[in-house]
Amino acid sequence: MGGLVELLAGRPENTWAICCENSLHFATSLFALWLAGKVPVFPKNYQVGTLQRIRESVDAVLRDTPALEQFPSIDVTQVKGAALRGAQISSTAHAIFFTSGSTAEPKQVIKTAGQIQAELSVLDGLWGDAIRGSLVVSSVPCRHFYGNVFGLLLPLVSGGIIDTSLWDPISMIRSCGGPRRVTWVSSPATLGRLPDVVAVESLKPGLKLVFSAGGPLPIAVPEEFRRALDFVPTEIYGSTETGAIAWRRQPCDGLWTVLPEVEVEQADEGCIRVRSPFLTDGNWLPLGDRIQLRQQNRFELVGRVDRFVKIEERLLSLPDMEARLRENSWLLDAVVTTVDLPQPRRTIIAAAIILNDQGRDELKRQGRRGFAKSLQKHLAQWFEPVLLPRRWRYPEKFPVNELGKLPADALQRLFLDGAEQENS
Amino acid sequence: MSDLNLEIKQLIIESLNLEDLTPADIDNDAPLFGDIGLALDSIDALELAMAVQRRFGLRIVDSKETRRVMASVSALAAYIESR
């Protein structure tokens, strides 16, 4: 890492986006940036459009992924150099994260190394003993705050052994075949599919601790874990801005227990607000989730208030995607929603589009398949593949009611009724 | 088009519930995953692996193998025939 610190210290750029798939490369980049007095930036994903949107916060890129010609970069896999001696991270060290704001633009969140340290010491107090000496395998990329804290920094603090390469569900299953205790850092998307892929019993005796975050875990998963492994996953509730807030282990009353040093209140419209040493300042921060406080330090999550949806743990702002679609020269208007497919059981994104004359000509010329692919390609500049719409409808007008509102059920019918009728 | 290729294409369309797509739209050698070709994602990969298992009784255990075996319709057909 010493070589990278030296190299960085000699560079004029101040803010560096970390685009590393491998968690060892990610950790090296993070600490080298801090030691060189630079500012690490955590992009939401490595799509070029995403990086361009946060262009003002990114001077250059540290990467183990292919180069992007728009940004100067250093390939961290090519940097050799001496070990570090007596290095210390400055007390002003900080990092920049991005979350989906309530507007179309990504919202910048600055965290100091001290705030991250405060969170790590609370987490270490709760789970450090269980993590120590275990092999930590994560299916959540390090660029996500949860994946970074639980999959990388917490094991470093607690003395876990980090596996830098295993991350997909099938490899995670294989990680349990060795002699070591295993800790998984995962999410409902992966854990929910586990019983379909493997007999959960076969994860015994290695698997001892499982974290899940990104959304509530369907109750069938902890029930299956309880039956097959005598323990259940530990679910974490939190956000990039707040860090971890609360945890729970189902089956239980479904309530979440607030972490030590974190305060939670029910604020406007029943929305949660949070205050903790993990947060940017000492003020209360309101979030978009509605809660019911049940007892002191325990609460129930009721749902989100705004038009954000979660698809496979990725938070998507529907207004954001609609705004991006409207930038396309073929269309007049767009409405984006989620549709629950019965088979395969998954929630997908669907888009209803009002075309202009040029768009109608293009649809005729390219056909439905080609036209949808063109629009997907347009959106892929900003959104990850799992978030791209898979159902497309091109109605003459939206099925609005007499009040001019678009009822959710009318919109759903549009997608579930099949694609052919609208062309008649 | 061989019967097995056709069967695999139908399986892909049915098991992933893909719309606006017929077997004729899928090229035997086009990549199934990634940015070009069908552009299926990682969740599709799991669903498809499960569908292959149900239909052909073949378990694709290793994830690296999954990516290689399901690279294209022809690759998947070759794998199934070799078993």
- Over the stretch B28-82, which tens digit does the pLDDT of each residue have? 998 888 766 677 877 788 888 888 888 888 777 666 677 788 889 999 999 888 8
Choose, out of A311, A312, A369, the residue to mutate when testing the contact with B (most B CBs < 10 Å).
A369
- pLDDT at position A103 is 46
Choose, out of A167, A170, A175, A415, the residue to mutate when testing the contact with B (most B CBs < 10 Å).
A170
- Give the E-state strand segments of A270-345 in sequence order: 271-275, 285-295, 298-304, 308-311, 314-317, 331-341
Question: Are residues A390 and B63, on separate chains, in Cβ contact within 8 Å?
Answer: no
SS3 at position A129: helix
Chunked mean pLDDT (size 10), chain A, 424 residues: 91 96 93 96 87 92 89 92 76 88 68 95 97 93 93 96 76 83 90 82 90 86 92 94 94 89 88 90 84 89 73 83 92 90 84 94 92 92 90 88 66 77 45
Question: Are residues B19 and A197, on separate chains, in Cβ contact within 8 Å?
Answer: no
Q: Closest residue of B to A190, CA-based?
A: B43
- pLDDT at position A172 is 81
Contacts of A69 (CB under 8 A, 6+ apart): none
Question: Are residues A169 and B15, on separate chains, in Cβ contact within 8 Å?
Answer: no
Residue A81's nearest CA partner among A154, A129, A28 is A28
* Nearest CB to B47 within list A174, A344, A368: A344
Could you tell me what percent of chain A has a pLDDT over 90? Answer: 52
Report chain A residues whose CB lies below 8 A from the CB of B49: 197
Query: Quick check: A290 and A251 in contact, CB under 8 A?
Result: no
Cis amide linkage into residue A106, ω under 30° from 0: no
Question: Are residues B63 and A171, on separate chains, in Cβ contact within 8 Å?
Answer: yes
- pLDDT at position A289 is 86
Residue A159's nearest CA partner among A195, A138, A183, A141 is A183
d(Cα A309, Cα A322) in Å, to the nearest integer? 13
* Nearest CB to A168 within list B19, B25, B63: B63
* Side chain identity, residue A414: L
Residue A105's nearest CA partner among A326, A384, A389, A382 is A382
pLDDT in tens, A169-193: 777 888 888 889 999 999 887 888 7
- pLDDT at position A304 is 64
B37 touching A, CB under 8 A?
Answer: no
B43 touching A, CB under 8 A?
Answer: yes
Report chain A residues whose CB lies below 8 A from the CB of B43: 189, 312, 346, 386
Contacts of A208 (CB under 8 A, 6+ apart): A130, A134, A181, A182, A183, A231
Question: Are residues A390 and B18, on separate chains, in Cβ contact within 8 Å?
Answer: yes
- pLDDT at position A260 is 96
Q: How far is A417 from chain B (nearest CA, A)?
A: 12
Query: Quick check: A272 and A299 in contact, CB under 8 A?
Result: yes
- pLDDT at position A306 is 61
Query: Quick check: A289 and A266 in contact, CB under 8 A?
Result: no
- pLDDT at position A402 is 55
Residue A55's Cβ-side half-sphere holds a number of Cα atoms within 13 Å equal to 7
- pLDDT at position B5 is 92
Q: How far is A314 from chain B (nearest CA, A)?
A: 13
Query: Quick check: A169 and A139 in contact, CB under 8 A?
Result: yes
- pLDDT at position A423 is 44
Q: What is the model's pTM?
A: 0.69
- pLDDT at position A298 is 94
Q: Closest residue of B to A195, CA-based?
A: B50
- pLDDT at position A102 is 44
d(Cα B1, Cα A325) in Å, to the nearest integer? 37
Q: How far is B81 from chain A (nearest CA, A)?
A: 22
- Residue ranges of chain A whose CB lies within 8 Å of a chain B CB: 168-171, 174, 189, 193, 196-197, 312, 341, 343-344, 346, 368-369, 372-373, 376, 380, 385-386, 390-392, 419
Report chain A residues whose CB lies below 8 A from the CB of B17: 341, 343-344
Question: Are residues A196 and B50, on separate chains, in Cβ contact within 8 Å?
Answer: yes
Write down the ipTM of this complex.
0.74
Report chain A residues whose CB lies below 8 A from the CB of B41: 385-386
